[in-house]
Amino acid sequence: MNDIAELKNFVVAHTRSQGLPPEHYDPLLARIRDDGDGTPGSWVREWSAEADRLAGEGRLLDACVHYNMARFPFVDGPARQDALERCTEAFDAWRAAAFPAIERLDVTLPAGRVRCWTVGLDAAEQRPLLVMTGGIVSVKEQWAPVLTQLGELGFAGVVTEMPGVGENTLPYDADSPGMFSALLDAVTGRADVSRTYALALSFSGHLALRAALRDDRIRGVVGAGLPVRDFFTDTGWQRHVPQVTTDTLAHLTGTAPEKVYDLIRDWALTGEELAALRVPVAHVTSLRDEIIPPADARHLREEVCGIRLLAHDDVHGSPSHFAQTRLWTLLSVLRMRGGYGAERTALTREFARLRYGGERSA
């Protein structure tokens, strides 16, 4: 059972990234009293009830967003499992009706199954590939708005989840970076995987950097809030990491919260590994991040050759700067790939408007 105060605090970045305004989610959060398994006044019950209402009105993508919030931060019982299933069902119904170009892809590996949503896979017209992943509490359905834009930007796209998150049944372990190569193998012949770019946020960005060290088909990595080294090794910092983060890591790795940091200690990226990266890297840092230590952004800045950086004076996920982050990360991918000058110019202008004129669509 999660601490309700922490859930209410950390869900804000996700509600804003999904386009929910405070005047919508504040009253909903106020109705939540505990984290019971679907009982009245519980986290899952209140979010799911609103999702049911929206689904009944035919607002399937909005319902998907609310079911996603209901299963947040991870499935720990029947009620959250039901919310996750309803989330994916609502998304599936939405894309079938509104955007059938989005298709399902299942990649079965010895250790489990990676379930994805894809767009633009075509053997006759193999486009550069953009692989998109979120962090330890983010499901693939959150990427719907980006999926609908990729065709205009000249990409084929694959969105999926980190191991252990959502419908991804792989274990989260030292072998997890290999998931990226497995995805590329699965779509070879339907996308130009020799020109693959990863838009990988938070903990999945750490996996993407490791994957880029091993797989030269990955030509660039764009991330935000990446754990790099000190998150894995700094025991003093770890004692102050929010409990919901520690509990989620423990759940994904199949260990106890008091043992999880010992388990992941060796996952830290060394200075030699960061210096060995030969692909462009771009990163968004939250200066008041309460999850990722500031030293990790410093390691990226000092040890990754030619890295591009954007910093926000914000907490983890930079919820007050979401629109800026979304534009900048897409623009960074386009810069890495080259071409599409008109689209890059338009994104640059819109980013400058938000950056220097104030955030208006967070």
The model's pLDDT over 45-75, given as tens digits with 9 standing for 90+, comes to 999 999 999 999 999 999 999 999 999 999 9
Percentage of the chain exceeding pLDDT 90: 81
Structure confidence at residue 360 as a pLDDT band (50, 70, 90): very low
Tens digit of pLDDT for each residue in 206-254? 999 999 999 999 999 999 999 999 999 999 999 999 999 999 999 999 9
Helices marked H in 242-293? 243-253, 260-264, 271-276
C-alpha span between 86 and 55 (Å, rounded): 10
Q: What is the mean pLDDT of the segment spanning 306-332?
A: 92
Higher pLDDT, 190 or 18: 190
C-alpha span between 160 and 163 (Å, rounded): 9
C-alpha span between 30 and 7 (Å, rounded): 12
Helices marked H in the chain? 4-10, 12-17, 22-30, 43-56, 60-71, 78-98, 144-147, 178-187, 203-214, 230-233, 235-238, 243-253, 260-264, 271-276, 294-303, 322-337, 341-357
Tens digit of pLDDT for each residue in 131-151? 999 999 999 999 988 999 998
Q: What is the mean pLDDT of the segment spanning 337-349?
A: 84
Contact present, 69 and 13 (Cβ < 8 Å): no
- Counts of helices then strands in the chain (DSSP H, E): 17, 8
Phi-psi region of 118 (alpha: psi -120 to 50; beta: other; left: phi over 0): beta
All residues at 6 or more sequence positions from 189 whose CB lies less than 8 Å from its CB, including other chains: 123, 126
Say if residue 8's pLDDT is above 60: yes
Average pLDDT of the chain to the nearest whole number: 94
C-alpha span between 30 and 37 (Å, rounded): 18
Dihedral of CA atoms 93, 117, 269, 244 in degrees, nearest 10, equals 10
Tokens of 103: 């298709």
Higher pLDDT, 360 or 166: 166
C-alpha span between 1 and 34 (Å, rounded): 9
Q: Choose among 150, 304, 302, 320: nearest CA to 223.
A: 304
- Domain borders along the chain are 4-92, 105-357
Q: What is the pLDDT of residue 362?
A: 28
Higher pLDDT, 292 or 16: 292
Say if residue 356's pLDDT is above 70: yes
Contact present, 196 and 128 (Cβ < 8 Å): yes
Q: What is the pLDDT of residue 358?
A: 56
Higher pLDDT, 152 or 302: 302
Query: How many Cβ atoms sit within 10 Å of the Cβ of residue 182?
Result: 15
Q: Cis omega (within 30 of 0) on the bond before 73?
A: yes
Percentage of the chain exceeding pLDDT 70: 99
C-alpha span between 146 and 275 (Å, rounded): 31
Q: What is the pLDDT of residue 1?
A: 75
Q: What is the mean pLDDT of the segment spanning 81-90?
A: 97
Q: Assign 3-class secondary structure to 52-92.
A: HHHHHCCCHHHHHHHHHHHHCCCCCCHHHHHHHHHHHHHHH
Domain covering 105-357: architecture: 3-Layer(aba) Sandwich (3.40)
Say if residue 361's pLDDT is above 60: no
C-alpha span between 260 and 136 (Å, rounded): 14
Q: What is the pLDDT of residue 9?
A: 86
> Starting at the edge strand that comes first in sequence, how are the strands of the sheet with 192-200 ordered?
103-109, 112-119, 156-160, 128-133, 192-200, 218-224, 281-286, 308-312
